[in-house]
A and B are shown apart, each in its own frame.
Chain A
């Protein structure tokens, strides 16, 4: 059972955040809200998202699984005005999700969740953590897009750096300890990441959102942030590239 009403902006954010990883996802619903985990087809990136019932205008649900096609969901959400409420109910007999915005009702076939297992979230012991404002990382990534297809992220007790280099060209974003919201570092670590994955992961982040980053040396990066006015939380994991050439 599901009977919910939610701001279309929140739903759009959710679809964007998960849609950069997979096209189809299994969402676990319960009385408290929803959560999901998904790994991209190439096994390079993972998303772990939860959204509390407080993010909804109205929320009532039993424990159940929804197999959702995010592309279809995205198309439906284009019909909703910014900030408009979306009503969501389940047509359990027909196995369909019923979505309604003003004057429009869409019934969407749900996917069979039988083969969709939750991936295990690895317990990674990452040596370094920091908090940084979204605007800095967004700028660093934007600058890198003109240079190369990968970036290196370095952090040490003095600060944090995003570097992109190719042939003779280089661009670097450096932040010292004061410019960061928080920094817990005893050593210097550095990892390389594919830029297309990285920039997709932060594309829904606003300038003021604080990103919590955990980092290791040639190790996956963990990026956490909240959305839906702190009622939703996202955790991404991205596997590194190893040094090329």
Chain B
């Protein structure tokens, strides 16, 4: 029985099938996701590529499919024109753009598909080899792609991967001269360096997440015999998870923030309200999908789902999927820069203007964007929640029901409330962050 009135007019639906699946798990049992198909139809008017030969500047972009794993399709993303196309595959630069512009930009990218086994490519296959080189390129790569038939007109949309345009089977691939990104290239040539270490090192050298992820997906890192292509979708989450974990363990050594903070950003009709609490690490993402938004297409109720982790992290995959890890990276990154730790809950309200999924970057980059701004600060949780309630349409009581971080903060007492004293604040000296408690 649902008696949960979330705002003035909507009820809440928990664990809605579409919000959990997001076109990736076939939970409805249908062969193709009806939501995604709907977007395809909307896009059908796009002009088809009327040639079997495309010459253009790849951003550089590559794509590694996941169907049929370990035999998957790999290849470049190429637009049918030349120039500085780097922005087309660099989600770090997309904050502030309109959804239509993002989709329009991305759908110009034609995907070349060439089937390989993920672990058997070792330089003997020219197309796989070029795809790999492109992923390490510093600047857009001049590419000529020859298809065995005209690329199909369907565009691809998913919750984790940014959209791209038509795709077709590759026959041959030519690459102009490219200049490798020195940082990526160095990690690529270190065949004794573990992939996770390579990812973290590159992040610490300020390499964009999208670049690390792209190189990761073509098996550019790791101990030599372990290298293999990784489906783009998986590589995004693997990179977000690896970096996020590293940062999380680092911030646990710092002392908690001193106040309650609320950060926010509103983009693409998504409202992001990020509440940080003065406590040890705990993190949660709660998403509320209004009816008629991407992953609540049929409902009349608001679909709310959430995933959280406590201090020690979690070992199972988050219910909410890749966006849990993308947002965690952004939160841990902010705290790491400040050398503090905190509990954090992200309340995401997705309104009907968010009509189609654009990829997990939306979560990572918008949370990052919010955390770059000055927060509102509060002395008490009550004041912080009151402020949040003025920024979101869904009532705070509803968020509380779905948020483990909020419930913990509101209902879980601490031993210190009963006379177990923590180390006095005045004893604390900088440099003693470890074991601050």
A positions within 8 Å CB-CB of B = 23-24, 39-46, 115-117, 119-124, 149, 192, 194, 196, 219-220, 237, 239-245
Q: Which residues on the A side are within 8 Å of B22 (C-beta)?
A: none
Q: Which residues on the B side are within 8 Å of A240 (C-beta)?
A: 413
Taken residue by residue from 409 to 432, chain B's Cβ proximity to chain A (1 for < 8 Å, 0 otherwise) reads as: 011111111111111000000001
- Assuming the contacts A115-B432, A115-B434, A115-B435, asked whether A43 and B419 have C-beta atoms less than 8 A apart, the reply is no
Q: Which residues on the A side are within 8 Å of B252 (C-beta)?
A: 41
The answer to whether B325 has its CB under 8 Å from any CB of chain A is: no
A122 and B419 form a contact (CB under 8 A): yes
Partner of A39, one of B312, B404, B437: B437
A201 → chain B closest CB, angstroms: 14
Which single residue of chain A is at the shortest CB-CB distance from B428?
Answer: A115
B410 and A44 form a contact (CB under 8 A): no
B414 and A239 form a contact (CB under 8 A): yes
The answer to whether B245 has its CB under 8 Å from any CB of chain A is: no
B411 and A244 form a contact (CB under 8 A): yes
A44 CA to B417 CA, complexed, in Å: 10
B437 and A43 form a contact (CB under 8 A): yes
The answer to whether B306 has its CB under 8 Å from any CB of chain A is: no
A220 and B416 form a contact (CB under 8 A): no
A33 CA to B276 CA, complexed, in Å: 43
The answer to whether B283 has its CB under 8 Å from any CB of chain A is: no
- Assuming the contacts A41-B280, A42-B280, A42-B311, asked whether A122 and B418 have C-beta atoms less than 8 A apart, the reply is yes
A119 and B280 form a contact (CB under 8 A): no
The answer to whether B281 has its CB under 8 Å from any CB of chain A is: yes
Residue pairs across A and B with Cβ atoms less than 8 A apart, 13 shown, are A41-B281, A42-B279, A43-B437, A44-B413, A46-B420, A115-B432, A119-B421, A120-B421, A124-B419, A220-B415, A220-B418, A240-B413, A244-B407
Most buried by A among B280, B408, B410, B412: B412
B435 and A116 form a contact (CB under 8 A): yes
Q: Give the 9 A-B residue pairs with the shortest CB-CB distance, closest first.
A: A115-B435, A41-B280, A122-B419, A43-B414, A239-B413, A122-B420, A241-B411, A244-B411, A41-B311
A44 and B435 form a contact (CB under 8 A): no
- Assuming the contacts A43-B437, A116-B435, A120-B421, asked whether A241 and B311 have C-beta atoms less than 8 A apart, the reply is no
Which single residue of chain A is at the shortest CB-CB distance from B427?
Answer: A117
Which single residue of chain A is at the shortest CB-CB distance from B433?
Answer: A115
Taken residue by residue from 386 to 405, chain B's Cβ proximity to chain A (1 for < 8 Å, 0 otherwise) reads as: 00000000000000010010
Partner of B420, one of A41, A119, A192: A119
> Main SS of the interface on chain A?
loop
A17 CA to B418 CA, complexed, in Å: 23
Partner of A121, one of B411, B420, B434: B420
Partner of A43, one of B282, B411, B422: B422
B420 and A237 form a contact (CB under 8 A): yes
Partner of A44, one of B312, B412, B422: B412
Most buried by B among A115, A149, A240, A244: A115
Q: Which residues on the A side are within 8 Å of B407 (C-beta)?
A: 244
A151 → chain B closest CB, angstroms: 13
A85 → chain B closest CB, angstroms: 31
B415 and A237 form a contact (CB under 8 A): yes
Q: Which residues on the A side are within 8 Å of B436 (C-beta)?
A: 115
Q: Which residues on the B side are within 8 Å of A23 (C-beta)?
A: 312
Q: Which residues on the A side are within 8 Å of B416 (C-beta)?
A: 43
Q: Which residues on the B side are within 8 Å of A44 (C-beta)?
A: 412-415
B309 → chain A closest CB, angstroms: 12
A116 CA to B422 CA, complexed, in Å: 12
A44 CA to B415 CA, complexed, in Å: 5
Partner of A42, one of B282, B410, B435: B282
A36 → chain B closest CB, angstroms: 14
B109 → chain A closest CB, angstroms: 44
A45 and B415 form a contact (CB under 8 A): yes
- Assuming the contacts A119-B420, A120-B420, asked whether A39 and B415 have C-beta atoms less than 8 A apart, the reply is yes
A244 CA to B401 CA, complexed, in Å: 10
Q: Which residues on the B side are within 8 Å of A115 (C-beta)?
A: 432, 434-436
Q: Which residues on the A side are within 8 Å of B412 (C-beta)?
A: 42, 44, 194, 239, 241
Most buried by B among A23, A24, A120: A120
B73 → chain A closest CB, angstroms: 40
Q: Which residues on the A side are within 8 Å of B422 (C-beta)?
A: 39, 43, 119
A239 and B415 form a contact (CB under 8 A): yes
B415 and A46 form a contact (CB under 8 A): yes
A120 CA to B415 CA, complexed, in Å: 10
B311 and A117 form a contact (CB under 8 A): no
B413 and A41 form a contact (CB under 8 A): no
Q: Which residues on the B side are within 8 Å of A219 (C-beta)?
A: 418
Partner of B415, one of A122, A192, A196: A122
